[in-house]
Amino acid sequence: MPDALTPELAPLRNAPRRRGLRVVSSAMIVLCVLFTAFILLILAVVTLYLVSLGGRYISLSFFTRLPIPPHMEGAPGGMKNALLGTLVLIGLASAVGIPLGVMAGVYFSEYRTRSVLAASTRFVADVLTGVPSIVVGILGYELVVVPLGEFNGYAGAAALAFIMIPLVARTTEEMLLLVPHSYREASIALGATKARTIFTVVLPSATGNIITGVMLAIARIAGETAPLLFTALGSRLLTLDPGHPFPSLTVQVFAYATGPYKQEQNLAWAGILILISLIFILNLLVHLIVRSMQLPVGAHK
């Protein structure tokens, strides 16, 4: 008789275990919420701190005036040269890094995916992604600055492109692998060559996700300082000639923040706030692009 009642009594015997699992699950949810709130609190404190220090020094002159040396009328001026220089450096780095990174990602994904060369290059790209940026700066100094005989913007752009290429390459590869293989088969079945299939079917299908990776790479290089200290160096002049020492926002903020003059230190806080805002805007654009152009996850090749 007890054996016959065992199935009916089983739920009662398992009830304490289920209650224990629910308690553990609820405790983990509470911990996740607390840690999330803690991270958001830290972010809010840092943001408010930057706004309180840098916001009061942001004005129209910050964007329209050039730096003025200390003890001169109108000092410290603005950071117009650094803002324009940063945009030029990012543009030059992107002109080199984006095409090379995308083509490398296409090679990893579509050609010789299991070859020794592809595997070795993929491994090197992963290693380069984690290389400290100061190492890239020293490399740019030895390979570009020393042969040319002076610090210059081209060396700075080359260093930033060196940082950008592995990020774009690996992102492009992963995004192309999400495109269903049936797309490729259908295109080839209609008579298209492999190259035409890649450039007219595969790449357009992953455009939104590739743009996401590109913008994340741009956000990464926009905040780099160490490579530019060894390559572009910086300049107080407004110049669009990358063949000479070239201004950038990060280097000018570093110079002002470590300098002895209070006015320049205040302006450095404003520059930090502008830089953080730029990175925030780029990341916001990434999320908007993902939401508007996100692909459904397809079959992995």
* pTM for the predicted model, two decimal places: 0.83
Range 80-293 has CATH code 1.10.3720.10? yes
Cis status of the peptide bond prior to 76, with omega within 30 of 0: yes
Q: What's the pLDDT score for residue 300?
A: 41
The predicted-structure confidence for 41-79, as pLDDT tens digits, reads as follows 998 999 899 999 899 899 899 999 999 988 888 888 999
List, in sequence order, every residue forming a beta bridge with 67; answer none if it has no partner: 77
The predicted-structure confidence for 237-258, as pLDDT tens digits, reads as follows 888 889 999 999 999 999 999 9
The predicted-structure confidence for 91-101, as pLDDT tens digits, reads as follows 999 999 999 99
List, in sequence order, every residue forming a beta bridge with 77; answer none if it has no partner: 67
Tokens of 273: 């706030």
Q: What are the domain boundaries of the chain? A: 80-293
